[in-house]
A and B are shown apart, each in its own frame.
Chain A
Amino acid sequence: MIAEFWYKIKTSPLSLLFVIGLLLSLGLGTLYSIAQVQLQAPPNAFSKQVIFLIPATILMIFMTLVSKRLVHKYVYLGYGFIVLAVFLPFFGQKVAGTYRWINLGLPFGLQPSEIAKWVIVITLARYLSDHNLQMNNFASNLVPFAIALIPTFIVLNQPDLGTAFVMMTPVIPMLFWVGARPYHLFLIVAPLFSILAASNVLAFSIWAAIMAIVLYMAKPQLWHGVAIYFGNIFLGLIFPLLWDTLRPFQQKRVLTLINPELDPLGAGYQIIQSKTALGSGGLFGKGWGQGTQTHLKFLPVQESDFIVSVIGEEFGFAMLFIMLVLFSWLIVKMIKLGLNASDRFSGLILIGISTIFLAHVFVNCAMSAGMIPVKGLPLPFVSYGGSFLLSSFMMIGLVLNFGREELD
């Protein structure tokens, strides 16, 4: 059995681990700088992260070795459990204004929504590979969306918009992978864009034009196309009116959901500080442990959400560029593995997981750079955070397992 395991490990795409090792070192080096310069005695973020690596590695190996058949067989059951699990925090205590954590009496809390991300992916993968769906039919898209939507909706109420976003995104590329018409995917996301674009006249005009072009190219039945087009326009027009009927405190509640870290002083304090830290770092940074914005604590949540700003301040654009190259290589490699996978189930899992990583990288970096509102999403392998580290390593285990070339 050992020999079999060893064979399994040996045939896994281990080059991924090298890149992950580099990213991990970058994260640990940064956490060490924070702990060292700010004289934080252990247990600090660095030491905790190192300790978390042990269970994370064990779980990763487990996920690498676990039988694909078993994963396939029990994933629906797992899905049922995870939906319950994301519900559980609502019965526990509120932590930092949210119901994200389960307290199991351990010295740390667990975030079931982290696990839920990839359980949803596997569930979708099974559903999409088991059923030979007629993807030309629009209705075929609905069940997969529902699979992702149920836990997403619960997570959205914790509230955790970032995680909810990450849970939903894999659906689209996975459907695309199994042959869904891009036009159908477009129809599903169109109402959301209509609402978002409605706040700005120029944005809404551009969006209306894009819709017109897409509809023209997709050549739907005439009355279909007209209904969809004007339905969306109507939604966009009616939304601001609906918004205005909300009382200010209700509007604020919704805005806080979209942007949970909304600064009560209204100054966008965190974004400003993060951009300042990044920008002052320059091309090569201020040097390890020399980041004034970081170490004088101008930078908020620097160990987790804003670790990119710390790296940018201390090591400069050069290091961030290298980091982005590593991430893009990692994600493209996963997609490549998905392309080469021998069966559809494996391929879909790889596509789904690569999307989760991409979503994290994009949201985290874009947030730190002030491109999107603040969403508390960590950067894979780099940010501090136990649950997410465990989850990331388990996903890598899955990638190693399902990315293996041989047939099971």
Chain B
Amino acid sequence: MLRSTNTVSKSKFWILSGFVIFIHIILAYRFFQLQVLDHDEYSRRAENNRIRATSIPAPRGLILDRHGEIIVDNYPTYIVSAIGSEIVNKEKNYKVISAATGIDTATLKKNYKNYYRNRFLPTRLAKDLTIGQLSRLEEAKDELTGIIYSQFPERIFNPKIRASHVLGYLKEIDQSMIDGMDENSDYQYGDLIGWSGLERQYESRLRGDKGVTYYQVDAFGREAGNVEGHGNILPNPGNDIHTTLDVSLQALLESEFKNKKGTAIVSNPRTGGILAYVSAPDYKPDLFTGLISNQDWKTVIADTNRPLLNRVTNGTYPPGSIYKMVVGVELLEKRLVTTDWSVFCTGAYEFYDRTFRCWDENGHGKINLEQAIVQSCDVYFYQAIQNVDINDLAVRSKQFLHGAQTYIDLPTEMKGRVPDRQFMNKLHGRYGWSKGAMLNLSIGQGEILVTPLQMAAYTNLLATRGKTYPLHLVQKQDIMINAPSIQIRTWALIQDYMELTITQSNGTGRRSNPKIPGLRIGGKTGTAENPHGEPHAWFIAYGEKDDDMISITIMIENGGSGGEVAAPMARKVFQHYYGPKSTKLVSK
């Protein structure tokens, strides 16, 4: 063995060594390229690999009532979410979470399906977790992938009241909304935004600034501690808003409206501040807390009573007899009647080939303007309206905010409708309507449609002789409502008539009088015929005692007679507000 000698030329050594060196140079160059030339690019990639930034929602500002009582608060709820793109094994996740929390997997699966938006956003699996459930989840952390749990400030509501239409609700922003926003907005897909009511109106004040938390994740999407040099940014809570609402009054009216449809607005005529705002039926305000599921949404939408409709601002109704003060003002201002001029009411009025009925079939007998308002006689107005021009009446109506915007601090309101000649011609044709339409209009029927909110503003104008401010829930406005330019005598007469409506034994509004010494009340009932069944019961009133004034506007949809149904409700409000048992604090 080993006999063959090693006769190798040196050139073979050089060739092989050269090849070895060549291979190493290639490798070294490749490392140089990756590590030095492309270093920045790969550093960025490494950062993206490991750092996850999630936003911390800011607690929204509170909503308080006029006495500082909290109406809408936040409470921290713990939620478990899953990030679709980071989940390795969905079924295993469900099992582990179910074992740790006791929530069955079917529920988790259903929630995932309901709340899923896209693979990169946290999808809520369960909420309202207890600390116990949370700590058991923490222990099982290593078995979970793509699961995050977070504290989430959820809206919680004063149990005494609902006020759902005033407060409004939050909704997740969807892509189309983000597209519509300007570029500087820092809303992200899935954030909650005030969607209606005050939550929407005062969104910028309530919202606050989101915080950001940075943490490292490992290759399996599991949290692996904080990131050095990336401190968390704490969220900045939103500002509170102080409303003009009065929780006790609101609660009273809401209970009155149980199983009824309609509206009630109580406000301070001197400031325009709203103390109570009811639109019935409503919905539980926490129906929309946090993230609403499709199922919940469909149930509410499908309700035939339309609980989502804010009847105060967006429902339009014929005003009925509460409109008569507008006509009365027009008659007095244009000197079309004197206070003594009277009509004999037989319970019906023949006009050409049509018969117009008074609400009282037995007739009111001889009636002047005072009694026409006190007893709400229709025949007087059928007669008197015949000298009034429809356009003049429309102008007058608008002065009293019929069919006009109230500029309340809520996101939407309907304008209603006040017919003028042009409108009537358009609707019925140039010769398609006659004075008969005016007769209907004189008692607030026919083409005229108003919102309950407009009637509240109208009541405030009557109560203050035109010196009132726009209705509001939070922010008092600087500019007063344009007062109708009418004589003081007219104001005084109308107020007298309204007060007699309450105090006279045959006044239609007598049932609203709680008979509190020193309390002066003026009001008017309305019973508005409509095609949907029973007439709508209206009652508007203002009361003043010791310089403290409130106004009440009540409308009960298909409720019947205003004097019999709506006025007694107002009495309870007066009783509550001015009565001796009232625990009312000093109003602002």
Contact of A332 among B21, B28, B41 (CB under 8 A): B21
Question: Which residues does chain B contribute within 8 Å of A346, judged by CB atoms?
Answer: 2, 6
Binary contact track B25-38/A, C-beta < 8 Å → 1, others 0: 00110111011101
Cα(A351)–Cα(B20), bound, Å: 12
B20's nearest neighbour on chain A, judged by CB, is A331
Contact call A347/B6, Cβ cutoff below 8 A: yes
Whether a CB of chain A sits under 8 angstroms from the CB of B1 is yes
Known: A281-B35, A296-B224. A69 touches B1 (CB 8 A): yes
Known: A173-B16, A341-B6, A347-B8. A298 touches B30 (CB 8 A): no
Known: A297-B220, A324-B27. A276 touches B16 (CB 8 A): no
A317's nearest neighbour on chain B, judged by CB, is B35
Contact call B35/A292, Cβ cutoff below 8 A: no
Whether a CB of chain A sits under 8 angstroms from the CB of B193 is no
Known: A342-B6, A343-B4, A345-B1. A278 touches B27 (CB 8 A): no
Known: A279-B43, A280-B39, A283-B39. A332 touches B20 (CB 8 A): yes
Stretch in contact with the other chain, from A7-15, A97-105, A205-213, A358-366: A358-366
Interface residues of B in 377-393 (CB under 8 A from A): none
Contact call B2/A278, Cβ cutoff below 8 A: no
Contact call A312/B50, Cβ cutoff below 8 A: no
Contact of B49 among A177, A298, A320 (CB under 8 A): A298
Contact call B35/A177, Cβ cutoff below 8 A: no
Binary contact track A210-234/B, C-beta < 8 Å → 1, others 0: 0000000000000000000000000
Question: Which residues does chain A contribute within 8 Å of B2, judged by CB atoms?
Answer: 68-69, 72, 129, 343-346, 408
Which of B4, B216, B217 is the most central at the interface, judged by chain A CB atoms within 10 Å of its CB?
B4
Question: Which residues does chain B contribute within 8 Å of A293, judged by CB atoms?
Answer: 46, 49-50
Known: A282-B43, A298-B49. A332 touches B17 (CB 8 A): yes
Whether a CB of chain A sits under 8 angstroms from the CB of B434 is no
Total A-B pairs in contact (CB under 8 Å)? 157
Whether a CB of chain B sits under 8 angstroms from the CB of A369 is yes
Contact call A279/B1, Cβ cutoff below 8 A: no
Whether a CB of chain B sits under 8 angstroms from the CB of A316 is yes
Contact call A344/B6, Cβ cutoff below 8 A: yes
Question: Which residues does chain B contribute within 8 Å of A5, judged by CB atoms?
Answer: none
Which of B24, B30, B220, B224 is the most central at the interface, judged by chain A CB atoms within 10 Å of its CB?
B24
Which of A278, A346, A354 is the most central at the interface, judged by chain B CB atoms within 10 Å of its CB?
A278
A340's nearest neighbour on chain B, judged by CB, is B6
Give the Cβ gap from A232 to chain B, nearest Cβ, in Å: 23
Whether a CB of chain B sits under 8 angstroms from the CB of A336 is yes
Contact call A296/B36, Cβ cutoff below 8 A: no
Give the Cβ gap from A267 to chain B, nearest Cβ, in Å: 13
Cα(A369)–Cα(B38), bound, Å: 12
Whether a CB of chain A sits under 8 angstroms from the CB of B426 is no
Which of A73, A282, A312, A371 is the most central at the interface, judged by chain B CB atoms within 10 Å of its CB?
A282
Whether a CB of chain A sits under 8 angstroms from the CB of B3 is yes
Whether a CB of chain B sits under 8 angstroms from the CB of A76 is no
Give the Cβ gap from B576 to chain A, nearest Cβ, in Å: 64
Cα(A278)–Cα(B7), bound, Å: 44
Contact call A339/B10, Cβ cutoff below 8 A: yes
Contact call A279/B27, Cβ cutoff below 8 A: no
B216's nearest neighbour on chain A, judged by CB, is A296
Cα(A317)–Cα(B32), bound, Å: 6
Contact call A339/B39, Cβ cutoff below 8 A: no
Cα(A312)–Cα(B34), bound, Å: 10
Whether a CB of chain A sits under 8 angstroms from the CB of B45 is yes
Whether a CB of chain A sits under 8 angstroms from the CB of B5 is yes
Known: A293-B50, A351-B16, A358-B20. A324 touches B6 (CB 8 A): no
B41's nearest neighbour on chain A, judged by CB, is A279
Known: A73-B1, A317-B31, A369-B27. A292 touches B6 (CB 8 A): no
A357's nearest neighbour on chain B, judged by CB, is B20
Contact call A176/B6, Cβ cutoff below 8 A: no
Whether a CB of chain B sits under 8 angstroms from the CB of A245 is no
Question: Which residues does chain B contribute within 8 Å of A281, judged by CB atoms?
Answer: 35
Question: Which residues does chain A contribute within 8 Å of B13, judged by CB atoms?
Answer: 335-336, 338-339
Whether a CB of chain A sits under 8 angstroms from the CB of B23 is yes
Contact call A321/B28, Cβ cutoff below 8 A: yes
Question: Which residues does chain A contribute within 8 Å of B6, judged by CB atoms?
Answer: 339, 341-344, 346-347
Cα(A291)–Cα(B492), bound, Å: 87
Cα(A369)–Cα(B12), bound, Å: 30
Give the Cβ gap from B86 to chain A, nearest Cβ, in Å: 13
Contact call A280/B1, Cβ cutoff below 8 A: no
Whether a CB of chain A sits under 8 angstroms from the CB of B219 is yes
Contact call B34/A279, Cβ cutoff below 8 A: yes
Cα(A408)–Cα(B3), bound, Å: 11
Contact of B45 among A69, A276, A332 (CB under 8 A): A276
Contact call B12/A176, Cβ cutoff below 8 A: yes
Whether a CB of chain A sits under 8 angstroms from the CB of B218 is yes
Question: Which residues does chain B contribute within 8 Å of A273, judged by CB atoms?
Answer: 49, 219
Question: Which residues does chain B contribute within 8 Å of A317, judged by CB atoms?
Answer: 31-32, 35-36
Contact call B21/A328, Cβ cutoff below 8 A: yes
Cα(A342)–Cα(B7), bound, Å: 9
Question: Which residues does chain A contribute within 8 Å of B16, judged by CB atoms?
Answer: 173, 176-177, 335, 351, 354
Question: Which residues does chain B contribute within 8 Å of A276, judged by CB atoms?
Answer: 42, 45-46, 49
Interface residues of A in 282-333 (CB under 8 A from B): 282-283, 292-293, 296-299, 312, 316-317, 320-321, 324-325, 327-328, 331-332
Cα(A338)–Cα(B10), bound, Å: 11
Question: Which residues does chain A contribute within 8 Å of B30, judged by CB atoms?
Answer: 365-366, 369, 371
Question: Which residues does chain A contribute within 8 Å of B28, judged by CB atoms?
Answer: 320-321, 324
Whether a CB of chain B sits under 8 angstroms from the CB of A275 is yes
Contact call B217/A177, Cβ cutoff below 8 A: no
Which of B12, B28, B31, B45 is the most central at the interface, judged by chain A CB atoms within 10 Å of its CB?
B31
Contact call B20/A275, Cβ cutoff below 8 A: no
A297's nearest neighbour on chain B, judged by CB, is B219
Which of A336, A339, A343 is the most central at the interface, judged by chain B CB atoms within 10 Å of its CB?
A339
Contact call A369/B21, Cβ cutoff below 8 A: no
Contact call B4/A129, Cβ cutoff below 8 A: yes
Cα(A342)–Cα(B219), bound, Å: 54
Question: Which residues does chain A contribute within 8 Å of B17, judged by CB atoms?
Answer: 332, 335-336
Contact call B42/A297, Cβ cutoff below 8 A: no
Whether a CB of chain B sits under 8 angstroms from the CB of A60 is no
Question: Which residues does chain A contribute within 8 Å of B45, judged by CB atoms?
Answer: 276, 279-280
Whether a CB of chain B sits under 8 angstroms from the CB of A137 is no
Whether a CB of chain B sits under 8 angstroms from the CB of A155 is no
B37's nearest neighbour on chain A, judged by CB, is A279
Closest 9 CB pairs of A and B: A279-B42, A280-B46, A317-B35, A328-B24, A296-B218, A343-B2, A344-B4, A339-B13, A347-B6
A-B contact pairs, 22 of them (CB 8 A): A69-B1, A273-B49, A273-B219, A279-B39, A282-B35, A282-B36, A282-B43, A283-B35, A283-B36, A293-B46, A299-B219, A312-B34, A320-B31, A324-B31, A332-B20, A335-B20, A343-B4, A345-B2, A346-B2, A361-B23, A365-B30, A370-B34
- Beyond A321-B28, A339-B6, A342-B5, 17 additional contacts (C-beta under 8 Å) are A177-B12, A279-B38, A279-B39, A279-B43, A281-B35, A283-B36, A292-B46, A293-B50, A296-B216, A296-B218, A298-B49, A312-B35, A327-B24, A338-B8, A339-B13, A343-B6, A365-B31
Q: List B residues at the A interface (Cβ < 8 Å).
A: 1-8, 10, 12-13, 15-17, 20-21, 23-24, 27-28, 30-32, 34-36, 38-39, 41-43, 45-46, 49-50, 216-220, 224
